[in-house]
Structure 1
Amino acid sequence: MSQRKYFGTDGVRGEVGGATINAEFALRLGYAAGRVLATQNPGRGRPTVIIGKDTRVSGYMLESALEAGLSAAGIDVLLAGPIPTPAVAYLTRALRLVAGIVISASHNPYQDNGIKFFSAQGMKLPDEVEAQIEAAIEEPLGCVGSEALGRARRIDDAAGRYIEFCKSTFPNELDLSGLKIVVDAAHGAAYHVAPHVFRELGAEVYAIGCAPDGFNINEGVGALHPEGLIAEVQNRGADIGIALDGDADRLQMVDGSGRLYNGDELLYVIVRGRMAQRKVDGVVGTLMTNFGFEKQMQALGVGFDRARVGDRYVLERMLQRGWLYGGESSGHLLCLDCHTTGDGIIAALQVLTGMRRAGETLASQVAGLRMYPQKMVNVPLAAGVQWESHPGLIQAKAQVEAQLNGRGRVLIRASGTEPKLRLMVEAEDAALAEQGVRQLVAVNLMKR
């Protein structure tokens, strides 16, 4: 993939008022995207795009600018208001639209925002289409004739449609009656959706992180800050806690004892539940997926593959392998038999499905999964040092892998944001992981 000027792995993202996340750029982006998307819809009438957003105050500005740019390109616009990212993916498919646009910076603080696109199939926009949009941004801003301008209207029932879709992924023969669930929506896009989903399936729901004010998204709440959820679960005597992030595509869960479960553990529960119903060919994780998860997949006779970090790359690998399940330790979980993209609410429902069918607690569901201790250290990397071919690092890595002898793994990767190298060792024994990292750190990476 060629170097992008604006688009990263998850759309355009940055600080509000910066080089890209501002009204002028959003206007140009809307116009450029409209011109490109119009070519994706030949012979099907006027193309229509849906725009959803999270609860950041800057969403109003960006929504209006995008709407103006799209209208100027002759694209009709549906405005869904605050709604989870995966809801936009669903509505794009359900309403047979040419694309969906999400205004969100996910788990970042309110000062940041982003703009990302979904294709008509409800998946991330293909690289080649993003490249076309980037090229079109550099062209002069124009406008179609008045008779061809796009129209905009709000969809009042967007949240309700998505609530019903989420509920449809939970088996009809099951319900959540008798369960006390605390739902933390991170003051984000799912604040008016997530509590209703679990309540309408029969659970007794206590909602926290569901009072957005435009500035408090992800602030001390949600999947990145589960401490409040843990305390609320224990104070309420609840059975389960569910934490989402600002745009509701990430999930963490807590049990009644206050134990926190990460994405690897939750994906394991989902896979186990599916295996009780049908054959599971394989699962995709990332470079950071715990080695214990990989070993357990091997023990269960389930294929396992690793993708680069990022749910975009997990999905790409799943589609290449023809597998239905994948995810990241951070809590981005994909179940392609339910949805086309990662969805925190739907992932939680699949975990609860496994628990209900087995009649087990979350702790008993993951009892067979042994997570390996991880030790990771960041070390400075001098400019010009080619770490992939560094003789000392190659030798140290080989020595550590020989000592592990299949009882762990070594991961070395460069930081994407600073001149540092991330050195990680996983092993059955924490002391062995610690020893391995020490051997890697001893290599002088400040010299060629």
Structure 2
Amino acid sequence: MGRLFGTDGVRGLANADLSPELALSVASAAARVLVEHAGGGGSARPVAVVGRDPRASGEMLEAAVCAGLSAAGADVQRVGVLPTPAVAFLTATLEADLGVMISASHNAMPDNGIKLFAAGGHKLPDAVEDEIEAHAARPAQPAERPTGHDIGRVADVPDALERYLDHLLSSTPDRLDGLHVVVDCAHGAASLAAPRAYERAGARVTTLAAEPDGWNINEGVGSTHLEGLCKAVVAHGADLGIAHDGDADRCLAVAADGTVVDGDQILAVLATGMRESGELAADTLVATVMSNLGLHLAMQEAGISVRTTAVGDRYVLEALREGSFSLGGEQSGHVVLPAHATTGDGLLTALRLMSRVAGTGRSLADLAGVVQRLPQVLVNVPVHDKAAVKASPDVAEAVATEEAALAGHGRVLLRPSGTEQLVRVMVEAPTEQTAAEVADRLATLVAAVR
């Protein structure tokens, strides 16, 4: 059996890979392990915050998680359907020992997942996840289980959404009066929160995909399906559009003319604004190796350094903490602002982006135009042995030769898949044709390695 925790918690087909029994055991194990790490959290008994996205299986898994937590002696503060970053925020503000979000993010409805947050709303290190996995494999024995008054209780937090909205509004520099935004909520966790947040900030809001029924989450909508939002922004004559994923920890944007503004461009808009206001610590932005070279060139022109990490928001978070930096994110739209959130927050990102538009009086297209994205080609190459490709001197020499030929106007990245015998060949170049030709040459060489 592989590792239970993936790059973003436990995820799988609900009621098959991710069964209620597994959810119960993971929740119970997490309560025991995280409370041990927190030294008891300073409370008489551990407290856990539990939220979910609106997919149908979340009801079942929420019940199992709450049962597992209370069986381990934890009191549960149930916050209902809320974005993942709201659960992280409430874990911190309610001074809980543990936060649990039941969501499969942008995945299709049949999937679901369990994301865990430690005290303070921070994501878990790999070592702690390994401890939880070990505990889950060995369920508590009858003698170890609390009884009587020591069994945990489950209660709802009726003002959970209001607390989160107040936090978002307090983190928004400029009001959005006069802006018209179309927001695609992916029939997900943002469906209630996002329109309310943007309206409270002063925007006129047109909503799309904000009617979750348990089955329609991410179904042809949201940040992975931008076509409908692009058309709606133009049709409504809106200033911009915002697209969230199922749990609203990310956002992408659409300019008034219907063109997509990706995570790299959002980062550039925020970084330049934060540098002007003195908020950008060490004049440094954290991004992953998948960010377009156009972002690096734009930041260089703006006098902003870029710290590069491996792919994954957990690596962005690690770099932000280690360097005490104030902004980081991914091309996919995960953006982290550590002064205001412990994890990626799509609503916070959208509010800060729209605040920059409102505060400058410039259009989103104009602000995002600072990044001239280079054509990017990505080829997934099936291989016999990923390690052999990484160690191949012929591959290394070919990559160096291709990068030298691009002469600073492009780049090459070879990245082994974390789960499959694949090597991802990514090439950026001044033209789509050049990028495709370089990618094809390298892909042919990589596929032949034995």
Shared fold (TM-score greater than 0.5)?
yes
Structure 2 contact 185–245 (Cα < 8 Å) conserved: yes
Counterpart Cα distance in 2 of 1:137 and 1:442: 44
Counterpart Cα distance in 1 of 2:392 and 2:10: 34
Counterpart Cα distance in 1 of 2:33 and 2:13: 26
1:36 is displaced (CA, Å) by 1.7
Superposition pairs of residues 153-164 of structure 1, within 5 angstroms: 153-164=155-166
1:41 is displaced (CA, Å) by 4.1
What does the per-residue CA deviation read over 1:345-401, in whole Å, with 9 as the maximum and x for residues that have no partner?
100111112212221001111222211111222222124760012233122112101
Out of 18, 33, 37, the residue aligned to residue 30 of structure 2 is 33
Structure 2 contact 175–202 (Cα < 8 Å) conserved: yes
SS at match of 2:298: helix
SS at match of 2:192: coil
Aligned to 1:96: 95
Structure 1 contact 272–354 (Cα < 8 Å) conserved: no
One-letter code aligned to 1:378? N
One-letter code aligned to 2:388? Q
SS at match of 1:442: helix
Out of 12, 16, 19, the residue aligned to residue 18 of structure 1 is 16
One-letter code aligned to 2:255? D
Aligned to 1:214: 214
Aligned to 1:181: 181
Q: Which deviates more, 274-283 or 95-104?
A: 274-283
Aligned to 2:312: 310
SS at match of 1:192: helix
Aligned to 1:134: 133
TM-score (normalised: structure 2)? 0.95
SS at match of 1:196: helix
Structure 2 contact 239–255 (Cα < 8 Å) conserved: yes
Aligned to 1:107: 106
Structure 1 contact 41–98 (Cα < 8 Å) conserved: no
SS at match of 1:18: coil
1:186 is displaced (CA, Å) by 0.4
Structure 2 contact 288–311 (Cα < 8 Å) conserved: yes
Aligned to 1:395: 397
SS at match of 2:316: helix
Superposition pairs of residues 274-423 of structure 1, within 5 angstroms: 274-278=274-278, 280=280, 281-383=283-385, 386-423=388-425
Q: Which deviates more, 286-295 or 139-148?
A: 139-148
1:184 is displaced (CA, Å) by 1.0
One-letter code aligned to 1:35? R
Q: Which deviates more, 84-93 or 235-244?
A: 235-244
One-letter code aligned to 1:382? H
Question: Is it true that 1:8 corresponds to 2:6 in the alignment?
Answer: yes
One-letter code aligned to 1:210? A
Structure 2 contact 403–411 (Cα < 8 Å) conserved: yes
Aligned to 1:198: 198
Q: 1:138 to 1:158 in 2, by over 3 A?
A: same
Counterpart Cα distance in 1 of 2:26 and 2:198: 37
SS at match of 1:10: coil
1:416 is displaced (CA, Å) by 2.8
1:47 is displaced (CA, Å) by 1.2
Counterpart Cα distance in 2 of 1:149 and 1:384: 49
Counterpart Cα distance in 1 of 2:376 and 2:112: 32
1:49 is displaced (CA, Å) by 0.3
Q: 1:384 to 1:105 in 2, by over 3 A?
A: closer
Counterpart Cα distance in 2 of 1:279 and 1:175: 18
Q: Which deviates more, 298-307 or 308-317?
A: 298-307
One-letter code aligned to 1:320? E
SS at match of 1:411: strand
Question: Is it true that 1:144 corresponds to 2:146 in the alignment?
Answer: yes
Aligned to 1:233: 233
1:337 is displaced (CA, Å) by 2.1
Structure 1 contact 13–105 (Cα < 8 Å) conserved: yes
Unaligned 5+ runs, structure 1: none
Structure 1 contact 400–439 (Cα < 8 Å) conserved: no
1:84 is displaced (CA, Å) by 0.3
What does the per-residue CA deviation read over 1:60-89, in whole Å, with 9 as the maximum and x for residues that have no partner?
111111111111111000111110000001
Structure 1 contact 86–342 (Cα < 8 Å) conserved: yes
Question: Is it true that 1:58 corresponds to 2:57 in the alignment?
Answer: yes
1:242 is displaced (CA, Å) by 0.8
Counterpart Cα distance in 2 of 1:279 and 1:384: 41
Counterpart Cα distance in 2 of 1:125 and 1:367: 36
Counterpart Cα distance in 2 of 1:126 and 1:438: 38
1:327 is displaced (CA, Å) by 0.7
Structure 1 contact 52–83 (Cα < 8 Å) conserved: yes
Counterpart Cα distance in 1 of 2:183 and 2:316: 26
TM-score (normalised: structure 1)? 0.95
Counterpart Cα distance in 2 of 1:85 and 1:11: 12
Q: How many corresponding residue pairs?
A: 443
Counterpart Cα distance in 2 of 1:274 and 1:438: 40
1:279 is displaced (CA, Å) by 6.0
